Chain A
Amino acid sequence: MAGKSGREINAVPQNSVKQKILSWEGGLVIIFVAVLILGAVISPTYNFFSVFREMPKYLCEIFMMFAMGYILIIAEIDISVGAIVCLAATLGCFAGNAGAPLAGVIAVCIGVGFLAGCLNGVILTHFTELPSMIVTLGTQIIFRGIAEVSLGSGGSVSMSNSKIIMPLATMVGPFPLVFFFVAIAAVIFIFSLSRTTFGRKLYAVGSNHTAAHYAGIPVQKIRMICFVLIGTMAGVCALFYLSTTFGANTTTGQGYEMDVIAMCVFGGIATTGGKGNLIGATIAGFTIVCLRIALGQRNINTQLILVIIGLLLIISVLIPRISEVLGNRKRRAVQG
């Protein structure tokens, strides 16, 4: 909460924030390595090849994570992405069953995601006084509602001809195809966030959107782009989801939005906007994916992962606060 925070932030020198973020990623790498070792210890089949083989079904969330990073950096939130995945996967499946080729399925999935993102964006940019939480809460129910209506009373659909989508599930050497797409997306998203004016504008909007507006940054245009982007990425996610499950049902994508936000926050992106970067989020995302594979292989209570993600999330947001309190105490001790 605000409190006297306005002053406190100003008092912190720029460098220490930078150092903190740098060490944050260092810490994430250590955790990542620890997870890999843990996996190798608890599961005899946990190795380079098996991890990559089992990766596709967990990787599709990562696409949305990049865009969610953008959304959080501009101090917005989008909780409708899980529902967009459900809708896009459902309609993509219908398209495949109606005889559309792979290109058609791809077009439907990504197109649905794009349109859903446009709807969010248009509402949010035309009714700027509304928080994105409420709007995406509403559209979340609507998108899933449309999927439920189109799925009918059965509540699920499966690909009658899974050959259509198989090209997306191929392996290139030991790597699944989707891994390369994630890698390409990672490079594009990380590069444009840290090395382009667009990326810098995101931070400006997130830090103070009024100031950004007066500095001539088209705030509403940026918000629109981000929401369209995350919708489109949800479409991509739905596409790869189809390529691993060959079907969709009414619970498809449930909880994805929270998983994705958790990855971003664990990766050091603040939900208050303007802070963090996607390198940390990418490492955090892969850490969680590898952890899931390890627990999945051992077949131990897979829901334990929920407890672990929750703990990681809370601890990772508490650490800066604890170090701040300790720092204050030290400063007071020095002054006294």
Chain B
Amino acid sequence: MQQKKSFWKRLTGSREASLVLILVALLIVVTILSGGTFLTPSNISQIFRNNALTMLMALGMLCVLLTAGIDISITSILAFSGMTIGLLQKYDILHNTFLLFLIAALIGTGCGLLNGLIISKGKVAPIICTMGGMYIWRGLAYVISNNNWASGADVSGFSDFGKDGSVGPYIILAIAYVVFFIVMKWTTFGRRIYAVGSNAEAAEVSGINVDKVISLVYMIMGLLAGLSGALSVSIYASAQPNMQYGKEMDVIAACVIGGVSMNGGRGSVVGTFLGALFYAIVAKALPLVGLESIWQNLIKGIIVLAVVLLNVLTQRAMDRANLERREL
């Protein structure tokens, strides 16, 4: 009995372990339902390619959520940077893939830095500041586009980087995840983010420059959003001002499923990856098990809510168990 309890606790205690279990169960069910056609190499690569943007931005969102903040301007930054490089190609100003990626990343970094400064120096609530950013950058994307959009022909050379079969998006994803895993786990900066999120005042007292950490976190988020803008233009071979509208909620949802707390200080890169992967697999699996794509959002929403509620229930059970043990 004792042993069983500790095994159960080890599973629920570590969010990552329970997520892996759920993922494996999900994969088995889907594989059986689809008659073994799910786990093919092409399907797996499509899962990553279709969700590359969410997976990439989830890393930045992890950092932001760790500091008890939130950033809902990311898809607007994405649209602004993506639209900019789309137009640069449309009007034949620049066609160098590397430079275009660099420009998009720089634009994103600038937008993110602005968010960070307003939040840290201006003491503005993150949701309000980034909501303002959400309007401004999306609006600017429309304004610079002037009701035009960059079509597949306009971005033909650039889209080779992200077209089906190219390894570009996977390399960016892999590098980003490895870098973040190392930074969050083994560097001072990573640990400082956790410290600020767990208790900002204590972090300040212990000599951490909280304002700087917060500014940097939003800057990183902006950088990833800018990169995602370039990636989006590359993968979908077009740039419109309304691209990825409303998808910031998917990014937040992926983090939440991955066990990142919105109160700050709790969450990990592995959890974020598993959360994003879970979300992606569900989206891919629905058509294979015979549900039309219109059911996608409903199922996704139910999963988000169920995961969140389940998390509370297990937390309550653990607290109660701890209390009982102390009383004995």
Contact = CB atoms under 8 A, between A and B. Distances in A.
B56 interface: no
Interface stretch (B16-24, B230-238, B289-297): B289-297
19 contacts: A2-B200, A127-B312, A129-B315, A133-B262, A137-B253, A141-B298, A149-B298, A151-B294, A254-B246, A262-B135, A265-B128, A270-B125, A271-B127, A272-B125, A301-B147, A306-B135, A306-B136, A307-B143, A314-B124
Contact of A3 (B128, B134, B204, B253): B204
Interface string B22-48: 000000000000000000000000000
A330 B300 CA distance: 53
B122 interface: yes
Contacts of A3: 123, 200-201, 204, 210
Contacts, number: 162
B227 to A, nearest CB: 22
Given A145-B299, A317-B129, A321-B124, A138 B308 contact: yes
Interface of B: 70, 72, 118, 120, 122-125, 127-129, 131-140, 142-143, 146-147, 200-201, 204, 210, 214, 241, 245-246, 249, 252-253, 256, 262-263, 292, 294-302, 304-305, 308-309, 312, 315
Interface in A145-172: 145-146, 148-149, 151-153, 155
A305 B315 CA distance: 45
A127 B309 contact: yes
Task: Decide if the interface of chain A is mainly helix, strand, loop or mixed.
Answer: helix
A87 to B, nearest CB: 11
A313 B132 contact: yes
Nearest to B137: A310
Closest 5 CB pairs of A and B: A145-B298, A306-B139, A310-B135, A141-B301, A303-B142
B201 A2 contact: yes
A89 to B, nearest CB: 17
Contacts of B301: 138-145
Q: In this complex, which of B201, B214, B305 has the most chain A Cβ atoms within 10 angstroms of its Cβ?
A: B305
B236 to A, nearest CB: 18
| Most interface-central of B136, B210, B252 (chain A CB within 10 A) | B136
Given A142-B301, A270-B125, 7 more contacts: A3-B204, A3-B210, A142-B302, A258-B135, A262-B132, A262-B135, A314-B136
B297 A317 contact: no
B298 A303 contact: no
A301 B214 CA distance: 35
B38 to A, nearest CB: 23
B188 to A, nearest CB: 20
A317 B305 contact: no
A140 B300 CA distance: 11
A317 B124 contact: yes
Nearest to B263: A131
By CB atoms of chain A within 10 A, which of B132, B214, B298 has the most? Answer: B132
Interface string A113-136: 000000000010001011101110
A135 B292 CA distance: 25
Interface in A301-336: 301, 303-311, 313-314, 317-318, 321
A194 B203 CA distance: 39
A145 B135 contact: no
A291 to B, nearest CB: 13
Contacts of A145: 295-302
Given A137-B253, A262-B135, A271-B127, A314 B118 contact: yes
A77 interface: yes
A1 interface: yes
A134 B308 contact: yes
Which of B72, B137, B142, B294 is the most central at the interface, judged by chain A CB atoms within 10 Å of its CB?
A: B294
B134 A142 contact: no
A102 to B, nearest CB: 29
A142 B307 CA distance: 14
B303 to A, nearest CB: 9
A310 B134 CA distance: 7
A65 interface: no
A4 B309 CA distance: 34
Nearest to B297: A145
A248 interface: no
The winner among A2, A129, A133, A310 for most chain B CB atoms within 10 A is: A310
Contacts of A138: 253, 301, 304-305, 308
Given A123-B309, A314-B118, A303 B297 contact: no
